Structure 1
Amino acid sequence: MIVLIPAFEPDGRLLALLRELALAAPELAVVIVDDGSGPRYAPVFSDAAVLGADVIGFPANRGKGAALKHGFAHIAAHYPGQDVVCADADGQHTVRDILRVGRAVRPGALALGVRAFTGRVPLRSRLGNTLTRWAFRAATGISVSDTQTGLRGYPAAALDWLLSVPGDRFEYELNLLLRARGAGWTIEELPIDTVYLADNASSHFRPLADSARIYLPLLVFSASSLAAFAVDFVVLLVVNALSGNLLAAVVAARGVSSAVNFLINRRMVFASRRPLRSTLMRYYLLVAVLLLANYGLLSVLTGIGMALALAKLVVEPTLFLASYGVQRSFVFAESDAVRSATRAAEPMAVGRR
């Protein structure tokens, strides 16, 4: 097992962590990525190397995601077959918890050390995690109690996939959670201590810029369906006004909007590698079912006197949630063949260090 620590402008707490790790588990290798901290912090990294850490890094700051991926690539090349535990450099993860998460890593699963957020927790941390947790569940259907934890364990076979996940800063860790299920990884949670030192003053998280980066992937998940809904809404009203035929209007609207939704979802939302023919068949099977449901519900609501526009606004949210869940788990989910080929191409484990 390798402990990977991305570090930007660290202080003595990084060195204290290394000493504690050496006492508790001297067999562990530690890789530290200097994320462009600059000459002022060179002595800290020099001391870390003296303590036995493998120190690599960048001359200029590139962000936590870039640092993690640089570390994953280094570990894959120099420590093949080793599982990886990522921890923060600011003393917020105890050695006991780091080792617990490391021991929990198993093939096919990502291990998250999750905080309870009880006691004295800075408001921005408590609020930020709560909002992201709710948004994450709404977008993915997966319940993760701490989406922002930096204490995570990854099996060796996940390294190539981790390198393919987009994002160079704080959004990277959320991106990989968003894509985990589609790539065939399960998520397991382990409770850890919630540690905030000096109200988390050492955090390099920028509330506005980095929050925007974190929430952007969640918005992308919804933007495709919102765009398709807008197209569907306009085409429905126009065709119905021209033809006076509700069924024709529903079919035309669904046909145009589904094409828009499919193209965006396949490329931008789910990044599906499933063969196009198979995906199209699954997608339009779903479209047919949703079309019948859409027509049936609109007919019922307009039949009891509700205006078509209002009926559409009532029906669409329900169908949106159903459609998203089926697309995520069935239409665009990575096929077993693709998943097997991906895993076969990844480095084989040769035992833990």
Structure 2
Amino acid sequence: MIVLVPAYQPDARLLALVDGLRTAAPEAHLLVVDDGSGPGYAPVFDAARQRGCTVLGHPVNQGKGAALKTGFRFVAEHAPGQEVVCADSDGQHSPDDVLRVAARVRDGADLVLGVRGFTGAVPLRSRFGNALTRALLRLATGRDVRDTQTGLRGYAAELLPWLLTVPGERFEYEVTTLLQAVRRGLPVDQVDIATIYLEGNASSHFRPVLDSARIYAPLLAFLASSFAAFLLDAGALVVLHALVGGLLLPLLGARLLSSCVNFAVNRSLVFAAPGARSVRAAAVRYASLAVVLLAGNYLLLAVLTRLGLGLLPAKVLTEVLLVAASYLGQRRSVYVRRVRARQPTRREPAPVG
């Protein structure tokens, strides 16, 4: 087993984790990545080396995602076939919990999350952030992950090449990994761990505004695309209704125009990823989804307008009601190619130092 710890400006809590793991699992290989902490933190990393850790370094801060990829790349090159457990350096993960996640990976799991219960004295931003991200991830994938922002994760060795291709260099990398794992059809095992926040999580380097924007960018991109398509759809509907009258033909014409634009934008910008379906396959599935949504759109519009609501307000209400169904349908069936997870192979530990 290899324990990978990305660290930016760590303190004695990193060394406490190392000491605890050395005592509980002396056979484990500990790999620490200094993400550009600076000369002032050299004594901490020197102490980690003296305790037997392999320490890699970035000359400047590149972000947690970049540090994790540096560690994954090193393991793939120097210790192929080894599972990796990632843990944070700020004292949030106990050695016992790290080893419980590692045991689940060794038992054959591909991706294991150490999930917190968020009980006790949990900072409000952490409680709210996880609840929001959990809800959005469930909307996007249909999968309920109880702790989307946990840094304690275990990966089978066969996932390392894929992990190096996941986009993102900072905190958004971990959420993007979850999104793509579900799109690949990988099972996500969840292991309960302790909820530990020291000093109100004051040591965290998470930037609430900037890093939250990075994490929520995929969903925000979809909503922006949907809003642009809605404006085009609503405008075309009003114009065609004025020209030809009725409801069905204007609705069909407006939806055909907006769907073509929405499909092109979502495929190239929102859901773009390695392994996505071909344009032809995605277009067929998008068209099938569009027919279902169009039927729902027509029925809702017909009901609302017969109830006396104006055409444009009825259109706005209809689109609001259907946007979640559209996102979920596109995420889960149009732009993704599901693959069967490979059976992990296990090898004897190889030295990494």
* TM-score, length basis structure 2: 0.92
Alpha-carbon contact 2:101-2:112 (below 8 Å) kept:
yes
- The equivalent residue for 1:151 is 152
Q: Is the 8 A contact 1:179 1:270 kept in 2?
A: no
Deviates more, 1:102-111 or 1:286-295: 102-111
Output the CA distance in 1 between the equivalents of 2:298 and 2:210.
43
Note the 1:250-261 alignment, pairs <5 A: 250-261=251-262
> What does 1:92-107 correspond to in 2, within 5 Å?
92-105=92-105
- The residue aligned with 1:45 is 45
1:291 aligns with 2:294: yes
Counterpart-to-counterpart distance in 2, 1:301 and 1:109: 48
Q: SS at 2:114's partner residue?
A: strand
- Partner residue in 2 for 1:219: 220
User: Does the C-alpha gap of structure 1 residues 14 and 335 become closer, same or farther in structure 2, counting only changes over 3 Å?
Assistant: closer
Unaligned runs of 5+ in 2: none
When residues 295 and 123 of structure 1 are mapped into structure 2, their CA distance, relative to the original with a 3 A threshold, is closer
Match of 1:60 in 2: 60
After superposing the two structures, state which structure 1 stretch, 83-92 or 322-331, moved more: 322-331
Residues 116 and 191 in structure 1, CA contact (< 8 A), matched pair in contact too: yes
Structure 2 residue 337 is matched with structure 1 residue 325: no
Partner of residue 19, structure 2 = 19
User: Which moved further from structure 2: 176-185 or 29-38?
Assistant: 176-185
| Larger CA deviation: 187-196 vs 303-312 | 303-312
Aligned to 1:131: 132
Deviation at 1:8, TM superposition (A): 0.7
Contact (CA 8 Å) 1:115, 1:193: kept in 2 or not? Answer: yes
1:334-349 matches, within 5 Å, as 334-336=337-339, 349=345
Q: Distance in 1 between matches of 2:13 and 2:326?
A: 48
Matched letter for residue 47 of structure 2: D
| Contact 1:133/1:146, CA 8 A, preserved across alignment | yes
Higher mean C-alpha deviation, range 142-151 or range 311-320? 311-320
Other-structure match for 1:89: 89
Q: Within the alignment, does 1:274 sit opposite 2:266 as a pair?
A: no
The ranges of structure 1 where at least 4 consecutive aligned residues each deviate by more than 6 angstroms after the TM superposition are none
Change (3 A) 1:112 1:233: same
Distance 2:213 2:196 in 1: 25
Q: Give SS of 1:82's match.
A: coil
User: d(CA) in 2 for partners of 1:59 and 1:179?
Assistant: 29
- Counterpart in 2 of 1:305? 308
Distance 1:50 1:123 in 2: 38
Q: Identity rate of aligned residues, in percent?
A: 55
CA displacement at 1:108 relative to structure 2 = 6.5
Of 135-144 and 90-99, the range deviating more from structure 2? 135-144
Aligned to 2:246: 245
* 1:270 to partner: Cα distance: 2.0
Cα 1:307–1:108, aligned 2, differ >3 Å: closer, same or farther? Answer: farther
CA offsets, 1:174-195, max 9 Å, x none? 1111222112222221111011
Partner deviation per Cα, 1:104-145 (whole Å, 9 max, x = no partner): 126574211111111111222222222222233333332222
Counterpart among 304, 317, 325 of residue 314 in structure 1 = 317
Q: 1:90 to 1:258 in 2, by over 3 A?
A: same
Could you tell me which runs of 5 or more consecutive residues in structure 1 were left unpaired when the two chains were aligned.
none
The more displaced of 214-223 and 258-267 is 214-223
CA RMSD of aligned residues (A): 2.0
Q: In the alignment, residue 251 of structure 1 is paired with which amino acid?
A: L
Matched-pair contact (CA < 8 Å) for 2:234–2:254: yes
Q: Do the aligned partners of 1:63 and 1:170 also contact (CA within 8 Å) in 2?
A: yes
Listed one character per residue, the Cα deviations across residues 203-247 of structure 1 (whole Å, up to 9, x for unaligned) are 111222222222223312322222222221111112112221322
Question: 1:319 deviation in Å?
Answer: 2.5
* Mapped partners of 1:326, 1:172: distance in 2: 23
Q: Does 1:202 align with 2:198?
A: no
Q: What amino acid maps onto 2:347 in structure 1?
A: G
Aligned residue type for 2:235 = V
Cα distance change, pair 117–108 in 1 and its aligned pair in 2 (3 A) = closer
SS in 2 for 1:181: helix
| Corresponding residue number in structure 2 for 1:9 | 9
Q: TM-score under structure 1 normalisation?
A: 0.92
* Counterpart in the other structure of 1:175: 176
